[in-house]
């Protein structure tokens, strides 16, 4: 492998790279800054119907992805890539934050398992030591949209993907705060004016205003982040 590598285990490989094949991420993919490999989980099924799921023990609605089929896909992806973190995307996982995103971006890449139906048999997750990650307190139809989000969050931190590193440093969560508001031309729009301090040319006052705005927004919208910020 060369560059930052993403391996995605899915029953819908045609969903990738999706939007990541466009814009800056797409250009970086063409340049070889990062690489993408999809693994079709159905290729590891043992029946003619390429079945990947079965009814859950204990009863209940839906189906569960089989451990033997999923294990085959994981082993294939890990062949020659044991250094890549193995991540399962699930609503019951630990919430993904910018700190973990930065750690993943600084590494060699990742292997992402996209679940479907009611999820994946717990035994294969334990056997393969999966890191279970959640994007928030909501449920998606499958892990593929979540995988695209995780990849996008990491890719934009790779050297050579985005424009200015300084712009990344002032974004939401990088300093434990939400980002301050942005304004551009025209200076007045529908009777709404840009804050005077931003057109003053006084860099120190602008920095102070932006810091205060970030603090006020975080305190109002994310008291959990604000409490953590105050402890630092």
Tens of each residue's pLDDT in the chain, 232 residues: 568 999 999 999 999 999 999 999 999 999 999 999 999 999 999 999 999 999 999 999 999 999 999 999 999 999 999 999 999 999 999 999 999 999 999 999 999 999 999 999 999 999 999 999 999 999 999 999 999 999 999 999 999 999 766 456 667 787 899 999 999 999 999 999 999 999 999 999 999 999 999 999 999 999 999 999 999 8
Residue 138, Cβ density class (10 Å: 0-12 exposed, 13-18 middle, ≥19 buried): exposed
In a domain? residue 123: yes
Contact of 71 with 130, CB cutoff 8 Å: no
N- to C-terminal Cα distance for the chain?
Answer: 39
Q: What is the pTM of this model?
A: 0.91
Number of H helices, E strands in the chain: 8, 9
Both 149 and 181 in one domain: the answer is no
In a domain? residue 162: no
CATH of the domain at 202: 1.10.1270.20
CATH of the domain at 123: 3.40.1280.10
Structural domain span for residue 44: 4-155
**The tokens of 129 are what?**
């030591």
Both 138 and 224 in one domain: the answer is no
Q: In what order do the strands lie in the sheet with 4-10?
A: 34-40, 4-10, 109-114, 86-95, 131-134
In a domain? residue 67: yes
């Amino acid at each position: 492998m060369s560059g930052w590598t993403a391996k995605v285990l899915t029953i819908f490989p045609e969903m990738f790279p999706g939007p990541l094949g466009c814009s800056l991420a797409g250009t970086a993919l063409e340049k070889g800054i990062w690489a993408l490999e999809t693994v079709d989980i159905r290729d590891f099924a043992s029946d003619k119907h390429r079945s990947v799921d079965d009814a859950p023990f204990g009863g209940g609605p839906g189906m569960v992805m089989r451990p033997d089929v999923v294990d085959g896909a994981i082993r294939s992806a890990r062949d020659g890539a044991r250094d890549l973190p193995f991540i399962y995307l699930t609503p019951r996982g630990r919430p993904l934050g910018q700190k973990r995103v930065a750690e993943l971006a600084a590494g060699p890449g990742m292997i992402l398992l996209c679940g479907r139906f009611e999820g994946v048999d717990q035994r294969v997750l334990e056997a393969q030591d999966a890191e279970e990650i959640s994007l928030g307190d909501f449920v998606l139809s499958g892990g593929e949209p979540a995988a695209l989000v995780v990849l996008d969050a990491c890719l934009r931190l790779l050297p050579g993907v985005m424009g200015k590193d300084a712009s990344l440093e002032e974004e939401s969560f990088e300093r434990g705060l939400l980002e301050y508001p942005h304004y551009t031309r025209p200076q007045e729009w529908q009777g709404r004016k840009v804050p005077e301090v931003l057109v003053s040319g006084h860099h120190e006052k602008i920095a102070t205003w932006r810091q205060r705005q970030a603090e006020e927004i975080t305190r109002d919208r994310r008291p959990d982040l604000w409490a953590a910020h105050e402890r630092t």
